[in-house]
Amino acid sequence: MTTDRSARTTETPQDQPAEVSNWDIVNHYFDIATERLELREDIAAVMRSSYREVQVQVPVSLSDGKIHVFSGFRVQHNGARGPYKGGIRFHPEVDLDEVRALAMLMTWKTAVVGIPYGGAKGGVNVNPRELEQSELQAVARSFMDKIEKVLGPTRDIPAPDVGTNAQTMAWLMDEYGKLHGHTPAIVTGKPIALEGSQGREAATGRGVVYVLEEIADELDMSFDDMTFAIQGFGNVGSWAARILHDKGAKLVAVDTVDGSIRSDAGIDPHRLDEFLFSEEGDITDFPDSESTSKAEFLATDCDVFIPAALGGMIHEHNADLLNCRVLLEGANSPTTPKADSILSDKGVYIAPDVLCNAGGVIVSYFEWVQNLQHFLWDEAEVNGRLEKIIKRGFREVAQKCEDEDIPPRIAAYELGIERVVEASRTRGYIA
């Protein structure tokens, strides 16, 4: 059993998964956006489909003495705006449909925040909670051996995602280096010791908080009397919680795959992080908090609810429970279309994934730029540039919402799609 954070928080922290797939979710929003844009059907078909979808076998000898064959995937969705970019997920339920959907989401994400990348995603259907570190290393190396031909620092650059972390990236980089020579820019989200970037580990959570600063301005909310709840306490959730707490907001409920807790007096996320990951405590034993059911967790009265777990967690059967003013999508595709309309009808402000969690890929971009130049920035520079880029993305989306009276998600998709269409036209791919 592994104890690192990403491996411990990979599973659905709720017993009721959505009945629609990630692919159905992203296509629903894509269809609304392309209809509004009056995009020609043949062009929409090009925009929807993947450039390349690779499925490979990942055979690994495990400590039981047997060879286990996992399935690995890399989907390159669209490369019109730059090299394919996106994370690699280790999760037992990963399949081609999910990876394809998440790759498409990366295309709109990089476009909406204006960084020069296309969109991709990868995954292996392995459960990191069940493997030793040495076995996970073998999975990562075996997967890299199978997909290296379609990767490259100017072709496709992986990064961490659910169930993977800086250590996984170090193994991937090392394996690629055996074949191609030392190439730090082949993956981002690496450890600092291997030319990883300052600020990358916290970047997605920090970006979520920068987006919330803009929303708070718009809705006239202040961090000092703000309460928030977090679903998932992995990389995104724990960093968003720590940064928000340090800015004065109060964490009142946390949900993980191992249980949920609540405290009206507030939960210290720094202490919770230590308790879960250094002391290997059980979340339900966290001091000065009470253990709650999933339904009670979802119904927590709070200003801001942050889904930071898997896709489809907020769906038609539980959206009505939510009792918040703002939904900040730290996870990718956490909200099904039906849940989206239930929450919108209740007047909840929804900050969409493609904008809200773009901090990770933005700082990946900085890491890649630093690697290409072998030049290292300090954390203040990284955070300052991240703030500038993600807030610019927010303001462009907000402006479109105001001009066209549409929700932020549709505005973000439209902006993203328009930019990819323009790049494709200029390249001469479409007329």
The span from the CA of 10 to the CA of 130, in Å, is 11
Count how many residues are written for the chain. Answer: 431
The three-state secondary structure class of 429 is coil
The span from the CA of 68 to the CA of 84, in Å, is 29
Minimum CB distance to ligand GLU, residue 353 (Å): 8
Q: Which is nearer to ligand GLU, 116 or 281 (CB)?
A: 116
Q: Which is nearer to ligand GLU, 238 or 289 (CB)?
A: 238
Residue 121 bears catalytic tag:
yes
For 272-335, give the DSSP string: HHIIIIIS---GGG-TT-EEE-HHHHHT-B-SEEEE-S-TT-B-TTTGGG-B-SEEE--SSS-B
Q: Under a CB-based contact definition with an 8 Å cutoff, are residues 263 and 240 in contact? A: no
Encoded tokens for 261: 């807790």
Minimum CB distance to ligand GLU, residue 189 (Å): 6
Give the sheet arrangement for strand 227-231, strand by strand.
290-292, 259-262, 250-256, 227-231, 304-307, 326-328, 349-351
The span from the CA of 383 to the CA of 151, in Å, is 28
Minimum CB distance to ligand GLU, residue 101 (Å): 12
Of the candidates 121, 146, 190, 250, the residue annotated as catalytic is 121
Q: Which is nearer to ligand GLU, 269 or 334 (CB)?
A: 334
Residue partners of 323: CB distance under 8 A and separation at least 6 = 299, 300, 301, 302
Q: Which is nearer to ligand GLU, 259 or 312 (CB)?
A: 312
Q: Which is nearer to ligand GLU, 259 or 311 (CB)?
A: 311
User: How far does CA 24 lie from the centroid of its chain?
Assistant: 18
Q: Which residues sit at the interface with ligand GLU, rule CB under 6 A?
A: 85-87, 159, 161, 188-189, 332, 357, 360-361, 364
CA distances from 428 to 49, 111, 228, 246, 421 (A): 18, 18, 47, 49, 11
Minimum CB distance to ligand GLU, residue 83 (Å): 10
Number of Cα atoms under 13 Å in the Cβ half of residue 192:
9
CB atoms inside a 10 Å sphere around CB 17:
13
CA distances from 87 to 73, 121, 156, 378, 417 (A): 11, 5, 10, 24, 20
Point out the residues that are catalytic: 121
